[in-house]
Amino acid sequence: MSNPKSVNESIGAIRLDETTPWQDFLALIKVGIVNSNLITTFTGLWLALHFTGLRFLENLDLVFFTLAGSSLIIAGSCSINNYYDRDIDPYMERTKSRPTVSGRVQPRVALWLGIALIAAGTIFLFMTTITAAVIGIIGVFSYVVLYTMWSKRQYVSNTIVGSISGAVPPLIGWAAIDGNLDPMAWALFALMFIWQPPHFYALAMRRVEEYRAAGVPMLPVVKGLKRTKLSIIIWVAALLPIPFFLKSLGIPFLILATILNLGWLALGIYGYRNKDEMQWAKRMFVYSLQYMTIIFVSMVIFSFI
């Protein structure tokens, strides 16, 4: 592992006035993660409204409480993650300039901000249904405790453990409208759970040396790139049956989702023997981002058909 002093000296070279307090706040709560999870939360909520026969405009209060509550608990969890990981973040290019590392935000501020955001978000979720609030609390616990504090630094299965929290948002959205959780809600959970390992393994391949320096036992660090590529393909293949559990959205969606799944699988298999493993990983990572956006937005669109 690199010398912490030299790492901190290099970070000290970063000008503290390069970012505004607002930019530091957005970095602290990982606004990109918040926004992407809002897509899946809204989709779960929208589909619950659609299949229970409720009108969107007549339930704007529930829509607000759900989106605000889920955003706040996710933002708070990310802030606590920044607080906890400030000792290993300096070793990774994409995290070394986080405000908790550079000193622009004091650790205790990040911690208490996270706690406050989670508390506020939980209150909002309780204003929808108890089920939504409980699921939100489970999501926070799985991300902060099971992933960040327990598995991330100890087990190669950390990505799978972390996938639990990432799959919770559509469940929260659905539960805010229908606390009974239709099987379709669990299909959304399964979709998000299975999507995350190939997405993050592709990222880990590209950042393997950084994870190695930080001492994080990601799959490519422990098992190597070849094993990671195989795992990615297996996880992508596991997505193939999921659209059939969402057949209530109609045949057009079933066809689109299947094409997206087969396209991702074909991309992985076609480039499996590619000697440029980083290029393969980049393509798989980019496809995963487009896949998630297209498939969840299309669910909303096809609900009108």
Q: Does domain 182-305 have CATH number 3.30.310?
A: no
Q: Encode pLDDT of 7-34 as tens digits.
A: 443 444 344 447 899 999 999 999 999 9
Q: Given a cut of 70, is residue 196 above it in pLDDT?
A: yes
Which is more confidently placed, 232 or 15?
A: 232
Query: In the prediction, which pLDDT does 223 show?
Result: 97
Q: What percent of the chain has pLDDT over 90?
A: 90
The per-residue pLDDT for range 80-97, each reduced to its tens digit, is: 999 999 999 999 998 999
Over residues 164-186, the mean pLDDT reads 97
Distance separating alpha carbons of residues 1 and 161, to the nearest angstrom: 25
pLDDT at position 271: 80
- What residue spans define the domains of the chain? 1-181, 182-305
Contact 172, 46 (CB under 8 A): no
Q: Which of 15-24, 186-195, 228-237 has the lowest mean pLDDT?
A: 15-24
CATH class of 1-181: mainly alpha
Cα-based distances in Å from 19 to 81, 84, 99, 104, 105: 20, 22, 9, 9, 12
For residues 267-277, average pLDDT: 85
Residue 5 has pLDDT above 70, yes or no: no
182-305 shares the fold of 1-181: no
Please state the rounded mean pLDDT for residues 182-205: 97
